[in-house]
Amino acid sequence: MPFTLPLTRRRFVSSAVAGAALSGWLGRLAAQAAQAAPAADQPQAKSCILLWMSGGPSHLDTFDLKPDAPDRVRGEFRPIDTSVPGIQISEHFPKFSRLMQHAAVLRGMSTLESDHQLASYHVHTGYQKRAGGVAFPSLGAIASHELGRADAPLPNFVCIGQGPRHSTRSGFLGPDHQPLDVLDPSRGTEFLSPLASQSEFARQYELLRRFNASFLDLHPAESARAHSSALERAVRLMTAEQKQAFDLSRESDDVRDRYGRGSFGQGCLLARRLIETGVRFVEVTMGDGVGWDTHRDNFPRTRALSLEADAGMAALLEELRERGRLDSTLVIWMGEFGRSPQITSGGGRNHWARAWTSVLAGGGIRGGQVVGRTDREAAEVVERPISVGDFLATVCQTLGIDHTRENQAAGVKRPIPIVDTSREVKVIAELF
Amino acid sequence: MGRLPSVLAGIAGLLLGLAPATLWGDEAAALADLIDQHVQARLESEGLTRAALAEDAEFLRRVFLDLHGVVPSADQAATFLKSRNPNKRSQLIDQLLASPRFGDHFGDVWRGRLLSPLANDQRVQAERFAGWLAARFNDNDGWDQITFDLLTASGKIEENAAVTYLIEGRHPLGVTDLADLSSRYFLGIRLNCAQCHDHPFVDWKRQDYWGMAAFFAQIQTPGRPKVVYLAGVRDDPKMTLASLKDADAIEGLQLAPPTFLGGQEFQAGSTKTYRAALAEWITSSENPYFARAMVNRMWWHFFGRGIVNPVDDMHAGNRPSHPELLDLLSRRFADSGFDLKLLCRAIAGSRTYQTTSRAGEQPDDAEQLFARMPLKVLTPEQLYDSLVAILGPPAKSSGIDIRQGAREEFRQFFAGDGDPDPTGYQRGIPHLLRLMNSPQFAGRNVEALAARIQADGSSAEEVVDRLFMTILSRPPTADERRLVEAQFDDASAPSQAVYRQVAWALLMSSEFSLNH
């Protein structure tokens, strides 16, 4: 609800520092917000939802099962048929299995880092983390930068859940592309409402604007400008109609149940609502803390996690389809790496970056296919290996972003391409 | 305490017609003069004039933030502004340098640089490490000694906090990160490009990079970080670059012997550990890089940009804006025994540092020649400590998980990554929403502050004065006073709600958020 200023008060009018039109800014902000209502969003503009499987899911127990492998590798789960003949996945993704015609399963993921934080950083940014080096932007910040509208009332990039914070920041792309973090989707985003009453907030914000205007007058520096503009964007969000997108209680119980009532399912629902409001990139993290990092008890845990992931992502894809947004919304399912073929004595699997699986769905890609193949123990990629660069360049192409476009980071002489082109980059042509 | 050697003083005197300095304070004052003369000469050669001297209040807040990392209290501000002592600025600098808060601040700053943001446990170990650094800075140990001890520390992390750099500075890449960080922070050199290919702009070759990395090979820990916590840091002479974990997967690995930058190989058969040899070489007063790196880094700390930029990319092709000044300060710094307080006193005491940040005649890029003080963004630590100093301890707030400690959580939430530009405002919507609307600071704390100040003040004018002094360390201008008084309702006495609103607006203001 937009704030209103108490018009009867004379205080602003009598002010000696009176500059721009008094009290007009709240109205202007509300008007801008109204213009950017969901209906105004061009349907052909692409958006992306990254379902981040924190901890690194076992590819052998989700999307690259090896029923013929020896016992110490094979695991407990059975493969099931999907809506696409010939493609089989784990029995614990029953709902998603019926949507396979929309999805491509990338079984050739082959990456370099096998430490959680370094691998998260690498697959999010396309660059390996080096001490004291350049701060690279994450995929979400890149999408915000390339696809986002500067005047959008909501941030163009939102992260839901306890995600890998170090990997999702905007780096050298700066404050406009920092994600808004929503830790608990059922609570929505924090700190959207003023502590004071709305009329009091309007008064104190007006006072703040005056203080800032006179400071900027004396100090016309970029930092002071950036501070004022970030403040204004934050207040615009507080006053925007579209902040209702954060309020899941506006959805029926049926819809909420369909996604699963856990934090991940509700996060998927929130992601759908945000995309419909014009947010370009939403990352939903599944698994706070340990998540898919199943060094022990891999099978019971992967089973439970799979069922939860299945409900959330299947409901998301179905709803996007029903609401006409599946072709313009790319959904990515991935973690930072896969897990070792060898089952440990504790019934777990360790980290494995050399061969693993991610899934793409929607976004106008050609679905119903598997790309790449691993050996009989899912230990090595034997056909169509996909590097981090290949993967991100493919995502960029789907979203209509030129992955070779270069950015200039402050303090760095060389221009930095969106995807590291110092190594050969092969877009996955099969998807287009 | 380092004394200016007479030879150098003589040279400086010849060059600039100065009397040799005799006292420590005079030494700093002489250096401050040299700074001003060099900066002034360069400005004149460009046809630029330097901006006016900062007003007392501007200087006061700036020097508190730069030396103590926190804004002054209202009482400190009032005392300073009232004083008519012509030497009050240099006396304030001396007081700030003598207070343990000086070491705390620089310990904080260096802990942020030397520890990886990916370190395992930010709180306990990082705080102990910051404490170790703080004590060294407060004792004014030479930067060479501090650096030597950081590079050669041994033992377990709980017994010797100095090893934290070797363990957590390089999480989890080990040897290669230590080579990067050590050349960046102690030598002002970016070697990391040379990990995989010869450096495109500079002389560094892959063998320079791996020769540097090889010095750290004896302390590698093949296992998980836990192993190093249990066993501690020690040198194993059997370890070489070839024994690095997954050596064949490391980009660009070259099995170089330990080699000092510039090509001198470490003598085999020496009884020294690799690290001791490297530390001696780095901190030697003959080393042309070591003093320059720290002088440039400290200059960057005070001015928001270095004499060479980027601050840690010093090489022949990257010209300093003031080459003679950098040479001179580096030499004097080395000759003083790498005396950091002397360097701080000289820079903060200079007219160049005490220049206003207000826009004047100068074009904007004159800031690059230090004609005017640029605005620096308050670091997360400066912001947190200043909020606590003004508002008291943070209140509980849902949505803010402070299991790791409120200050640490705040630091991580507000931190930029990499080596952020001190003059660039990098915070976005999430940060401002939190500052404006979270009860952590903006709720009861602001209310209590307004109530306390209202109870102390006898008139509305006094209350408004006190609010400005407490938050911005200066009295309001006439315009600001009118603006605030316009908030008062017509007849009744100003309510506490109005003071609360004023306090909130001041705390959220650009002026408060920036070091001007």
Task: Let me know if A364 is exposed, middle or buried by CB neighbors in 10 A (0-12, 13-18, 19+).
Answer: middle
Peptide bond into B20 cis (omega under 30): no
Pair of tokens at residue A261: 């009532």
Q: What residue in A sits closest to B441 (Cα-Cα)?
A: A195
A299–B contact, CB cutoff 8 A = no
Whether the CB-CB separation of B97 and B345 falls below 8 Å is answered with: yes
Q: What residue in B sits closest to A207 (Cα-Cα)?
A: B505
Whether the CB-CB separation of A136 and A127 falls below 8 Å is answered with: yes
Of B192, B427, B432, the CB nearest to A133: B192
Whether A14 and B486 lie within 8 Å, measured CB to CB: yes
A432–B contact, CB cutoff 8 A = no
How far apart, in whole angstroms, are the C-alpha atoms of residue A16 and residue B484?
10
Whether the CB-CB separation of A234 and A37 falls below 8 Å is answered with: no
Task: Report the amino acid identity of residue B255.
Answer: L
Q: What is the structure's pLDDT at B226?
A: 54
The string of DSSP letters for B396-428 reads P-TT---TT-HHHHHHHHH--SSS--TTS----
What is the full per-residue pLDDT of chain B (516 aa) written as tens digits? 344 444 444 444 444 444 433 445 689 999 999 999 999 999 999 999 999 999 999 999 999 999 999 999 999 999 999 999 999 999 999 999 999 999 999 999 999 888 876 665 657 888 899 999 999 999 999 999 999 999 999 988 889 999 988 887 554 457 788 888 899 999 999 887 666 656 555 667 788 888 999 998 888 765 555 556 667 788 888 888 887 766 666 777 888 889 998 878 887 677 788 999 999 999 998 898 999 999 999 999 999 999 999 898 888 888 999 999 999 999 999 999 999 999 999 999 999 999 999 998 878 778 889 999 999 999 999 999 999 999 999 999 988 888 888 998 899 889 876 667 899 898 888 899 999 999 999 999 999 999 999 998 889 899 999 999 999 999 999 999 999 988 887 556 678 889 999 999 999 999 999 999
How far apart, in whole angstroms, are the C-alpha atoms of residue B280 and residue B144?
9
How far apart, in whole angstroms, are the C-alpha atoms of residue B503 and residue B464?
9
Count Cβ–Cβ pairs < 8 Å, chain A vs chain B: 214
| Residues A273-298: tens digit of each pLDDT | 999 999 999 999 998 667 999 999 99
Q: What is the structure's pLDDT at A343?
A: 96
Whether the CB-CB separation of B103 and B138 falls below 8 Å is answered with: yes
With contacts defined as CB-CB under 8 Å, which chain B residues touch A115? 172
With contacts defined as CB-CB under 8 Å, which chain A residues touch B432? 230-231, 233-234
Low-confidence ranges of chain A (pLDDT < 50): 1-43
Pairing, β A281-286 against β A157-160: parallel
B459–A contact, CB cutoff 8 A = no
Whether A237 and B429 lie within 8 Å, measured CB to CB: yes
Alpha-helical segments (H) within A192-344 = 198-218, 222-239, 253-259, 263-276, 298-322
How far apart, in whole angstroms, are the C-alpha atoms of residue A373 and residue A357?
10
The residue extents of the domains of chain A are 35-188+247-431, 190-245
Whether B516 and A222 lie within 8 Å, measured CB to CB: no
With contacts defined as CB-CB under 8 Å, which chain A residues touch B428? 155, 170, 175-178, 230, 233
A125–B contact, CB cutoff 8 A = no
Smallest CA-to-CA distance from B292 within B268, B327, B243 is with B327
Q: What residue in B sits closest to A195 (Cα-Cα)?
A: B437
With contacts defined as CB-CB under 8 Å, which chain A residues touch B310? 411-412
Superfamily of domain A35-188+247-431: Alkaline Phosphatase, subunit A (3.40.720.10)
Whether A200 and B497 lie within 8 Å, measured CB to CB: yes
Whether the CB-CB separation of B37 and B331 falls below 8 Å is answered with: no
Whether B508 and A208 lie within 8 Å, measured CB to CB: yes
Residue that has been written with the tokens 């033992």 in this structure:
B155
Q: Can you give B66-121 as a three-state secondary structure string?
A: HHHCCCCCHHHHHHHHHCCCCCHHHHHHHHHHHCHHHHHHHHHHHHHHHCCCCCCC
Q: What is the structure's pLDDT at B7?
A: 43
How far apart, in whole angstroms, are the C-alpha atoms of residue A400 and residue A416?
19
Q: DSSP 3-state assignment of A81?
A: strand
Q: What is the structure's pLDDT at B219?
A: 83
B495–A contact, CB cutoff 8 A = no
Of B423, B428, B439, the CB nearest to A175: B428
Q: What is the structure's pLDDT at A411?
A: 67
H or E element at residue A119: helix A116-125
Looking at chain B, how many residues does it have? 516
B509–A contact, CB cutoff 8 A = yes
pTM, to two decimals: 0.84
Task: Report the amino acid identity of residue A8.
Answer: T
What is the per-residue burial (b if ≥16 Cβ within 10 Å, else e) of A138-154?
bbbbbbbbbbbeeebbb
